[in-house]
Structures are given as C-alpha cells and as structure tokens.
Amino acid sequence: MIQRLLCVSLMLLIIISLTVLISPNLKAITTSGKKEVSIGRNELFNKEQHQGKLQIRYFHLEANEKSGDSILIKSPDGQTMLIDAGMVDTGDQLDRYLDQLSINKIDYAVATHPHHDHIGGYHTILQSRQIGLLLMPDLPHTTEVYSTLLNRMTERNIQPTYVKDGDRFRLGKNVEVEIISPSNGALEKAKKEKKLSTKDINNLSLVIKLTYNNHSFLFTSDIYKKQERKLVHLKEDLLDVDVLDAPHHGDSTSSLQAFINTVKPSYTMMSANIFQSKKVYERYLKSGSEVYATSMYGNILIVSDGEHLKIIPEKIKR
C-alpha cells in the first residue's frame, strides 16, 4: 500500500513539473542546461492559426559558426518583409522554412548591411522567391558575397531601393515601418572613406521600427555601443518599444545600459545560433525584460493582434 502511494505521489510530481515547464508564462531565466523540450513547433509553422494577426518569426539557422539574422514579418493582411537572410551556407535552411509557411513572395526584402551573415542567404532566396522591393543602405562594399548578391539581383532584374533615416512605408494597411538609422550624412561620409572597418559598417546598419496598433518593435541589426549612444541622444522619443531585437545578436559589443533604459523592452530577442554573451543576457534580465535567444529556444514566433502579444518558442532547454 505504501509503495502504491509513493508511486502515485511520484507521478503527480512529474505531472506538476511538466505543467510548470510548458507554461505559456515561462520566462527565459528558468532555462539552462542541455535537455531540449519541444513545445511550439507545430504552432510556429502553422500557416492558418494566426491569420489576421501580425506574425514575426525569428528563424534559427543551424551552423558551426555564427549564422546571422533572418526575421520574417507577415502583416495581418498577408504582406511579407524579410529582414536579412543569414549566411550563404544556411540559405537552403531558410528556403525550407519559407516553403513550410508557403511564402512564395517577399514584398520587402531587407539587407540591413552588406556583411555575409546577413545577406548570404539571399543568394538562394532571390532565385527561389518573387521579390517586390529589396531595401538596403547605400554602402560601398567589395566582398565576394556582396558581389554575388548584386549579380543575382541583376539576373532577376531587381534594382536596390536605398533607404535611410526618415524613410517610411506601410507593410499592408496597418503596419507602419520607419527607418531610424543610418542618417544620410553618415552614409555620404562613408562613401568618401577608402575603406570601412567591420565596426563602421555595423554602425551603418539599418535600424527599423515597426508599429502595429499598440505594439512596437525595434530591429537593430549589428549596431555597436557608439551608434546606440547616438540613437539615445538623437532618437530617444522613437526608442521606447515593447520588443527589442538585441543589437549585434546580443554580443558584448552592444547593449549599453543607457540604451536598454531608453528602450525599456518588455521582451528582448537575441537572434544568434551561438550564444554570445552571458553578461549582456543578464543585463536585459536585470532590467526587467524577458529574454528569448534562438540559441536556447530555436525558432521563435511573436504574434500580435495589436492589443495582446504572445511569444511561442519552438523549444526550451532545462
């Protein structure tokens, strides 16, 4: 009899533990270790479930090196924007993700800056998808990956649309998109330089604010602390958002405390297949933000109806 009671008690403890584990209110600070638990993949790639709502998907691109960013945004009325496409070697992965979601056309393809881990995957995507506009900063660059991108654009008769601070457009009827960096002056100055450093190019990345009714999102690409300071000084009124895409994948090059204090994100996304910085991760947590890193959670879906926001990770680790 005692053995039966012990067995029943043990089973109840297991059930309670699992219930807590897959709670929709789960916070990032509860995850660590190696064991993976799949909780949201079916919903994350469900094409029908969230129609009529804003959907933002952070794709987890698996690779042995840092694979970069790729973020798909779908407006409530079905228009699409892809912010970056990861590196060349993960282009096929991204292509398969888009196939699963039946995304045949990218209305706005964004190349935030010309580094290989942000534009490389476009080598594949430009061949497999219809592209509406391709947005990028007007930056000089001479790498093989960038040259190949330009050649693919020429093959598909796609002209770049150069954007800068102050440019605005709508994704569908109700989603507002604004470019808040870099400035025209900074881009013109960069064109006069004989050679731009990696840091220079990262600080000239497109920074994009997206607003849908009561929710706002800030996509920061690879900017460093120097550019964060400039934005806090010049664009403070635009930086207070609900969801922040952590600059430079959550690397220690970025995420000043002053920047975090100005943005005040309720949620912070770290788009990196390889975890970048524990100190930066903890800095966001201590600032009161829930943190979701693709290195820990896999693919991540954010859904908004303009009033309520839901974050669905593919998996957690414990």
- Give the per-residue pLDDT at 2: 46
Give the chain's domains with CATH numbers.
Answer: 37-317 (3.60.15.10)
Average pLDDT over residues 21-45: 48
The whole-model pTM stands at: 0.86
What is the bridge-based pairing of β-strands 54-58 and 300-304?
Answer: antiparallel
Q: What is the pLDDT of residues 253-264, one digit of tens each?
A: 999 999 999 999
Q: What is the pLDDT of residues 133-185, one digit of tens each?
A: 999 999 989 899 999 999 999 999 999 999 999 999 999 999 999 999 999 99
> Regarding predicted confidence, which is higher, 296 or 265?
265
pLDDT class of 98 with cuts at 50, 70, 90: very high
